[in-house]
Chains A and B, each alone.
Chain A
């Protein structure tokens, strides 16, 4: 959880500081006390939304160190679950972004369209989040062939609705005026702050672990990496919206190509060694490093979520901006909902807290209203 403290001069942001650890859970220490096959359940609880990509990055690290190759069907099942995760996460973000700038209709629509994706995940894995499906050597549960047509039909419906929503957003003159040129993260800053995912791709940094260091079944499917050069909030919205369609394409193709066979192989011993596992989570690259001494627990397990590198880039994207734009600039990198609520503004001259989350949200929405009136 983060707490953002802004320092302002008039309406201009002069500094931003982030405080972490309102809820540090010590997961890297806990992992050292768990057996290798218990850890996927731990790391899926790092984040409910990223509860497919964290365990995937972890098992890939262990599979790398142990030289294990899971069966093909497992690679496809992993791909499908991870892309469904990206679809629901990106749609969730669209809704939140709409809320922050006063587009509550977008919020309602987006979350309504997201719901069936969670239902599909529940049907496949038994859970809406914390799927618990991936394990070292494959997957725990298979996708039954008889529900394939249902998933495809449901995704077609979502695609139609999202096309309408995307068109409405991209054609809206108020949104262009409100979001273009706001919260710009320049390409050189994106590189120096080492950001990943849509935050990097919207600043013209063409990286995606799914393509660059292929895992699961991504190298066997046809899809595109979406990039935008501008680096502003609008560019980040475009990247996420268009990526949603790529993910739908990936899931559909993976379902059609889903090979026959088992979804897991038996794994007995994890030898000594070290491995790095990476997965492209909705917010960017998730990285896990695992070292084993040949026992049944890791001697060290490092976990790095994408927001850990994306959030510090606020120093580059917020400074010099207007406080009415801060809420949406922070939200544009898609930190968790609980993160953005913890926001306060301090006066540069006397150190007093001026605005809390509520008033900042109000400022942000009022600016949209003002632009609307000027344009219409």
Chain B
């Protein structure tokens, strides 16, 4: 499969996507609502056979974003599923660790650091933060300042 065929195959999930952004030839960003991210990621991992690299949670003021980065190693392309979580009060998204064991840690980490709930995650214990870190303080949220948490 070459890069054109890869882009072409994305039409199968076009109803789930808001848009596809291409920054450079080897980087595709698939923007979608958080509800559809699970299905899109499943298609990319299972059908296209991409490797899950990691995920990035971002506090974007009006919404939260979870970026699932996948690598299509045959073509050296990074496909990033950009899921928009519009509920600022109780941000949550369906876990992809249900079908990608390699995503368990990073979802636990995003839960710790950004306070995003991953629904139906198989093991939602703390990963990064210390046991005595206060509940409800999420270091990577923009309003959490770099000062000692008491």
Interface, chain A (partner B; CB < 8 A):
20-21, 24, 26, 28-30, 33, 64-65, 191-196, 207, 209, 212-214, 273-276, 278, 285, 287, 289, 291, 299-300, 302, 304, 308-309, 312, 315
Contacting B130 at CB < 8 Å: which of A21, A209, A302, A312? Answer: A21
Contacting B139 at CB < 8 Å: which of A20, A26, A300? Answer: A26
Contacting A191 at CB < 8 Å: which of B51, B53, B74, B129? Answer: B51
- Tell me if B67 is interfacial: C-beta within 8 Å of chain A: yes
Query: What CA separation (Å) do A274 and B78 show in the bound complex?
Result: 13
Whether the pair A28, B51 counts as a contact (CB closer than 8 A) is no
User: What A residues does B140 contact at CB under 8 A?
Assistant: 28-29
Query: What CA separation (Å) do A212 and B105 show in the bound complex?
Result: 25
Query: What CA separation (Å) do A65 and B127 show in the bound complex?
Result: 31
Whether the pair B56, A194 counts as a contact (CB closer than 8 A) is no
Closest to A189 in B: B101
Whether the pair B53, A285 counts as a contact (CB closer than 8 A) is yes
Q: How many A-B residue pairs have CB under 8 A?
A: 89
- As a 0/1 sequence over residues 100 to 134 of chain B, the CB contacts with chain A under 8 angstroms (1 = contact) are 11111110000001000000000000011110000
A111 to chain B, nearest CB (A): 31
* A29-B140, A195-B102 given; 14 more Cβ-contact pairs under 8 Å: A24-B128, A24-B130, A28-B140, A64-B23, A192-B100, A194-B51, A194-B52, A207-B51, A213-B76, A274-B29, A278-B78, A302-B54, A302-B67, A309-B105
User: What A residues does B23 contact at CB under 8 A?
Assistant: 64-65, 273-275
User: What A residues does B67 contact at CB under 8 A?
Assistant: 289, 302
Most buried by A among B102, B127, B128: B102
Query: What CA separation (Å) do A207 and B133 show in the bound complex?
Result: 39
